[in-house]
A and B are shown apart, each in its own frame.
Chain A
Amino acid sequence: MDAEQGVYLYAVTRDEGGEPDGPAGVAGAPVRRLAHRGLAAFISTVSLQEFGEESLRRSMEDLAWLEEIARAHHRVVEAVARRGPTAPVRLVTVYTGEAQVRELLDERHAQFDEVLRRVSGRWEWGVKAYAVAGPAEPVAETQDAAPGAAYLNRRRAALRGREDGWRRAAEHAQAVHEALMDIAVAGTRHRAQDPQLSGRREQMVLNGAYLVDEARAAEFARVVEDPAERGVTLELVGPWAPYSFAALDHDGETAYGDAS
């Protein structure tokens, strides 16, 4: 392989499908399949001018560049995942050549096999919950209170109200998470997104990812649609390729997924 070119890895699957017919990869390069010992790596050729370590360091800080790469990466992963069990690989995993990718499939063969078995016939669903701002509790004004004390009383009541609202929302979120976990094969609570990233003003109180059997997807969605869950606004996003459930180095079944 040309010294100026590298191999970008998107995902690993079983060697079952045909040649990829999905979208182009990063930088518009065609995606190809490298089959080895029953596994298949989806890869494309990238320029090391753009994907070398030094340039990556710079360009990863460039949001426009990053968005383009992230979307391209995601498109390929999703297209691959539609064809069968898929282990998505983290963004910008680049090798110097196909030989190194084969080596990877050799070395991690058993682990990939395990991951693919785990995610087979299952999809990742994201469920987010946002705190619903409750009505402000009326503050009992004490007539004889000094202005300073009255202010403090109001302030204290406001803080208490907000705190109660958050606590209620957090409790709701936990209840929703538990209900979802009853249906999901596995689930994990990710860190809540900042309002600027979520694009919503309400505080996110649950950012959950759940691995759900295809057969139970409708049942799963019904929990999210349940009108009884009024304390929080719920959002269902998916299905996704199993990004949150493809860790290779999990410590047996106990360590993976269930963070509840």
Chain B
Amino acid sequence: MSAVRSGPYVPGSSMQQQGYGGRESANLGDILERVLDRGVVIAGDIQVNLLDIELLTIKLRLLIASVDTAREMGIDWWEHDPWLTGDAHELAKQNRKLRRRLAALEEIVATRAEAAHEPEAVERGR
């Protein structure tokens, strides 16, 4: 029985440094992510509904202690954030779009800045 607790049995020295039993001190965020978000989902007789748990995990990811604050902040923003969802392709696409918009805006600003120097002459020319 005690052999069960006798420590690391995964081969390899780097693993042993990590220490199997060392996870007692595993980061709370990692633990919550796993026990709330992963693992076998089966219907118990008594269970808070999954949607609630989903919302809860989002709040936890934001790590906002107060639920009210989370609600005020709108808790779903980062569900759609391609960066946070790991969708780098979407991010790159969005960046390109933003860059184009920025360039267009800069052009408009530049044109207006030029125009701002001109109008007097135009007015006088009439």
Chain B CB within 8 A of A6 CB: yes
Residues of A within 8 A of B20 (CB): 82, 239
B73: interface (CB < 8 Å): no
Report yes or no: A152 in contact with B109, Cβ–Cβ below 8 A.
yes
CB distance A218 to B26 under 8 Å? Answer: no
Distance between Cα atoms of A90 and B31 in the complex (Å): 11
CB contacts (< 8 Å) of A63 on chain B: these are 60, 65
A16 in the interface, Cβ–Cβ < 8 Å?
A: no
Q: Is A243 an interface residue (CB 8 A)?
A: yes
Which of B10, B15, B31, B35: most chain A Cβ within 10 A? B35
Determine whether the beta carbon of B95 is less than 8 Å from that of A193: no
Residue of A91, A166, A170 near B39 (CB, 8 A) is A91
B66 to chain A, nearest CB (A): 10
Contact A115-B40, Cβ < 8 Å, known A239-B10, A240-B23: yes
User: Is B52 interfacial (CB-CB < 8 Å)?
Assistant: yes
User: Does A189 lie at the interface of the complex (its beta carbon under 8 Å from any beta carbon of B)?
Assistant: yes
Q: Please indicate the chain A residues that have their CB under 8 angstroms from the CB of B74 in the complex.
A: none
Contact indicator A70/B31 (Cβ below 8 Å): yes
Given the known A-B contacts A206-B86, A217-B12, A217-B15, are A95 and B45 also in contact in the complex, defined by CB atoms under 8 Å?
yes
**What is the minimal beta-carbon distance from A224 to any residue of chain B, in angstroms?**
9
- Which residues of B (21-35) have their CB < 8 Å from a CB of A? 23-24, 26-35
Question: Given A61-B67, A196-B63, A236-B18: A96 and B34 within 8 A (CB)?
Answer: no
Cβ contacts under 8 Å, B78 to chain A: 194
Residues of B near A163 (CB, < 8 A) are: 95, 99
Pair A94/B44 contact, Cβ less than 8 Å: yes
The total of chain B residues at the interface (CB under 8 A) is: 60
Q: In the docked arrangement, what's the CA distance between A239 and B17, Å?
A: 12
Instruction: Find chain B residues with CB under 8 A from A209 CB.
Output: 38
- What are the residues of chain B within 8 A of A176 when measuring CB–CB? none
A91 touches B10 (CB 8 A): no
Say yes or no: is B113 at the interface (Cβ < 8 Å to chain A): yes
Select one of A21, A77, A159 contacting B102, CB under 8 A.
A159
Residue of B nearest to A59 (CB): B48
Q: Are B63 and A194 in contact (CB under 8 A)?
A: yes
Given A173-B88, A222-B14, 12 additional A-B pairs, CB 8 A: A70-B31, A79-B5, A91-B39, A92-B44, A104-B42, A148-B113, A159-B102, A191-B86, A205-B86, A218-B15, A239-B18, A246-B38
Q: List 15 A-B contacts (CB under 8 A).
A: A22-B5, A70-B31, A73-B35, A88-B40, A89-B39, A90-B39, A90-B53, A91-B36, A170-B88, A191-B86, A197-B63, A207-B86, A218-B11, A222-B14, A237-B27
Binding site for A on B (CB under 8 A): 1, 4-5, 9-15, 18, 20, 23-24, 26-42, 44-48, 52-53, 56, 60-63, 65, 67, 78, 83-86, 88, 91-92, 95, 99, 102, 106, 109-110, 113
